[in-house]
Amino acid sequence: MTSNLFKRLSYALFSALAIFILVTYKQYGISNDEQVQHIYGQLLLKFYSSGFTDQSAFTYKNLYLYGGFFDLIAASLEKISPMWVWDIRHLLSASFGLVGIIAVYKITEKLAGERAAFLAAILLTLTGAWSGAMFTHTKDVSFGACMAWALYYTTLISDRLDRIPPNLSVKLGIAVGCALGLRIGGAFAVIYLLLLVLITSFIQTSTIKEKLNFYTKAILGLLPAGIVALCLMALFWPWAITGKDHILIAAKSFSHFAFNMNTIVDGTFVSIGEVSRSYLPEYLAIRLPEVFLLGLISAVIILLFSMKRNTYQYPSHFNKELPEITLAIAILFPLIFVLYDRPALYNGVRHFTFIIPPLAVLAGIGLSKSWDGLSTKPKRQLSFGLLALVLALNTAYTLFELRPYEYIYYNHFAGENLKQAEHRWEADYWSSSLIDATKMLENYVDAEQKNWPSEHQGAYYVAICAEAFQGSAYLDQRFKVTENWVRADFFISSTHMNCDKVLKGNIIGTVERLDAPLAVVKDRRYLTGEDRRPHAPPRN
């Protein structure tokens, strides 16, 4: 009865999220990577429509190092849909986000039942780095969703690697192939599988002959997955198969991709190639909601107590825990990789968004098992439940206040408030708040022209501290985005990395959430001389 209740609650959550996506997807601003990503998708479409002769996609910026699964779909939909292309991308991206939440539900339901599955889905929904990012982080969230489904099918086959059903192998191959069709990081899913096969062989076999027999069966069972994954990767990322070393080049760039750019860690500007090994764990600690962290801590405590109380009969005990071992691999391997390899990182957890779904699975299990573990102590159980509920409601309120910029959410460990947190950590790094800033500029000029008719002739020149199209996509014909910032009549900028301080001007509009300024609009028409020139932003 209880199981059916949580199952219905989970389905209600998915329905509510679908409605939320349909109602709000037009409210989210264009991210500063979207234009080049969409052009890449269009070039891939040309590659196929030209009969493989137009290979301009293989030389376009550095996009050829990535798969085009999402961008190819978006470019195809643009051809047949009357919708604005950016709306198409945001609706499609949000759909991937919802599919990722469903994958988390499915994984957790297999591992710990319906209640834990519902809690895990709620936790991921409350995570701004997922539910807020899913509209604009078109490559990161879609990749995370594919990785989550790859993890789901890996857990399904984890306890039958010597007899993998062909249909599950094909489904696994589809998920892994789609992940590889987005970025080389999809190889993590392959590494998870290899580690699982290796660990399982030590658990289930003892002699060399038994191990070889096990490996043979596992390889044959995974063969359909490998074939399907390679075919899909080739379809969505054709550059990868046009040279023997292309996959290695992409892998190297993923591990050591660095350029002249800074990130911010606890108020300190740091070159992305010199971030500390603790960068990702630090950002996870402040980006995940407090109730999410409560679930993770609960899971760790339960595991430690379980290890202390039980004397495991190796290997028979671990043979029953292979799905759980699969989850552990998906969480621990990326973290160990970052700690060991120290890849260039920036934008907080963005490049490792795919680790958030498995963490949500673990946290959901932690909350559910903690509730069960306190069943003999009703007062403590009630206190634990109330604490989790209050923390969840607080996060939900914060996300509501941040809309449509939920992706900038930080928990209370990041600072006393959002205003402090956004100057100590990465804030609106996508400059999504420019969607509201451009409306403020248009409204300001509307009021000015209505109340104080001027003799201004021609377009107003606007400088934008972001990608030019993030302003030009929204501004009407009265405005022209210029790269000559000295001549600019107006200036629009997010406050991220103090970019708003590059140009002087009278602030005529501020995009704010929870008293934290996200973007500003400045009138520069009255400035003269040196005051019109840009200056380097302060590094604090």
Cis previous bond, 404, omega within 30: yes
In sequence order, the 6+-apart residues with CB closer than 8 A to the CB of 302 are 366, 369, 370, 373
| Cis before 323? omega within 30 | no
pLDDT of residue 1: 60
pTM: 0.94
What SS3 state is found at 540?
Answer: coil
441: number of Cβ within 10 Å: 27
The C-alpha atoms of residue 471 and residue 492 are separated, in whole angstroms, by 8
User: What is the block-wise mean pLDDT of the chain (540 residues), using blocks of 10 residues?
Assistant: 88 97 95 93 95 93 93 96 95 97 98 96 97 95 98 96 95 97 94 95 90 94 96 96 89 72 87 88 96 97 79 63 94 94 87 96 97 92 95 96 95 90 90 94 89 76 92 92 93 92 94 94 92 83
User: How many whole angstroms separate alpha carbon 12 and alpha carbon 25?
Assistant: 20
Cross-strand partners of 464: 492
The candidate with the shortest Cα–Cα distance to 463, out of 502, 508, 436, 498, is: 502
Residues 527 and 461 sit within 8 Å (Cβ to Cβ)? no
Q: Let me know: does 353 contact 141? Beta carbons within 8 Å.
A: yes
Q: What 8-state DSSP symbol labels residue 386? A: H
Domain ranges in the chain?
2-406, 434-532
Tokens for 232, please give them: 């899909």
The radius of gyration of the chain's CA atoms, rounded to the nearest angstrom, is 25
C-beta atoms surrounding 286 within 10 Å: 20
DSSP-assigned letter for residue 349: T
Give pLDDT, residue 312: 54
What confidence score (pLDDT) does residue 132 get? 94
Helix (H) or strand (E) holding 226: helix 208-236
Helix (H, G, I), strand (E, B) or coil at 466: coil
Q: What would the two tokens of residue 535 be?
A: 């200056």
